[in-house]
Amino acid sequence: MTRWMEVGDPTTGRNPIYVIVENVRSLFNVGAIFRAADGVKARRVFLTGFTGHPPRPEIQKVALGADRAVPWTHCSDTRSVICALRREGVRVLALERTERSVDFQTYPYSFPVAVVVGHEVAGIAPETLSACDACVHIPMCGTKRSLNVSVACGVLLYEVLRHARSRESLPRNG
């Protein structure tokens, strides 16, 4: 098992949810993603590509300590993270509007699961999308095609947590 893996370890006290943050430029968005990951008690955040990582004051300003509460790993190659997680039985889900993506509220979630979010403008790299098991999107009613990456990540993480709680009898406070 890879050194940073905690899959299947009941002593972690964390939910079977991972977050992969690929090429997110804004450190403020990274901090907000840490807050969302802490909110759902994710097992680990993977910061990949050119995504900034702690310690950075911009991350700390928004994360408010979540960057110290949630285990994290920086890795330049997103695909290596996805491959390692998949070897451990983790299903990898991209958050991106594509021809094959489905509404995040209708997706049949299974656990453990990793959620991939990408660059604020360019989205998730095509080679990363092809490595994922599935792709979901958040339907938009307004003029924009998507939410801010950290907001979208938070929306999806709480939907994932809702499904995890209903399937695994996870406690409401963790």
For the residues 77-83, what does the mean pLDDT come to? 98
69 found inside a domain: yes
- How do residues 64-77 score in pLDDT, each as one tens digit? 999 999 999 999 99
32 found inside a domain: yes
Q: Higher confidence at residue 9 or residue 148?
A: 148
31 found inside a domain: yes
Find all residues with CB under 8 Å of 96, minimum gap 6, and list them: 116, 118, 123, 124, 129, 135, 137
173 found inside a domain: no
81 found inside a domain: yes
3 found inside a domain: no
Give the pair of three-digit tokens for residue 14. Answer: 């964390």
Position 167 confidence tier, pLDDT thresholds 50, 70, 90:
confident
94 found inside a domain: yes
Decide: pTM greater than 0.85. Answer: yes
What does pLDDT average to over the chain? 92
For the residues 79-104, what does the mean pLDDT come to? 97
Total number of domains constituting the chain = 1
CATH code where residue 75 lies: 3.40.1280.10
121 found inside a domain: yes
- How do residues 118-135 score in pLDDT, each as one tens digit? 999 999 999 999 999 999
Which residue range forms the structural domain that includes residue 125?
A: 14-167
Q: Residue 5 above 60 pLDDT?
A: no
